[in-house]
Amino acid sequence: MNCIDYRRLITSEPSHIGADAMRHRMACRACADFTRETQQLDSHLRDAMMVETPADLEARVMLAATGQSRRRGRRVALAASVVVVFAAAFTVFNSYSPERLPRHVIKHLYHEAALLVPSETELVPRKRLVQVLERTGVRLTQDIDHVVHAGICYFRGHLVSHLVVNSEQGPVTVLLLPDEQVSKTMPIDEDGFLGLIVPVKGGSIAVIGSGATYPRPVEQKFIEAVEWST
């Protein structure tokens, strides 16, 4: 893939660019920068739209509207009910069934696609890794090497650890999901990503790479090395 094709794709279909484009971005500094800028703009827009609506918003807006002219009050009430309907639709759209878990994992990867570009080769210090894991209820029972990113993300209604590990097959994303119970291993094979969601005691672990094979070694490592403290 060349730069023109890549940029056309990232601007028209930012959430479905596929592994080919990912590889171009890893190899091309200019396109990596371009993507970062586009995504920053994107996330500012999203933040502006995703303001959480308090449960009593409608009532509060109605209350605020009383005492003002009736016409204005009606208009505000209408706006409030639109917000409430929108929030309800959003909840239904985001139903957290286990069947949708693989799709949500891929979506989350795209949401933070910059993490798949191994630009920071600096390793995450063990202390920081332990802190991140602790905050999401995970204990480390063995050391994990080659961790290049460790962050806490909001995923399907919960805080989860989001790690990126450098492996022989390139960067592999690991999401530790204490609150997601799956009854058996779920494969992920989408847009050039290959991964697995494996059940572990107390939750599940999603491991996703963009190499030619499932990132089994990383999966095995994590199954051995993490434990849920809840």
- Which residues of this protein are in contact with Zn ion, per CB under 5 A? 3, 28, 31, 112, 153, 162
Please, which residue, 29 or 126, has the CB nearer to Zn ion? Answer: 29
Q: Where are the beta strands (DSSP E) in the chain?
A: 138-140, 147-155, 158-167, 170-177, 186-190, 193-200, 203-209, 226-228
CB of 198 to Zn ion, least distance (A): 18
Please, which residue, 31 or 80, has the CB nearer to Zn ion? Answer: 31
Nearest residue to 193 (alpha-carbon basis) of 172, 175, 164: 172
Please, which residue, 65 or 138, has the CB nearer to Zn ion? Answer: 138
Return all residues near 92 (Cβ < 8 A) that are at least 6 apart: none
CB of 31 to Zn ion, least distance (A): 3
CB of 18 to Zn ion, least distance (A): 15
Helix, strand, coil percentages for the chain (3-state, nearest 5): 50, 25, 30
Please, which residue, 10 or 196, has the CB nearer to Zn ion? Answer: 10
CB of 93 to Zn ion, least distance (A): 20
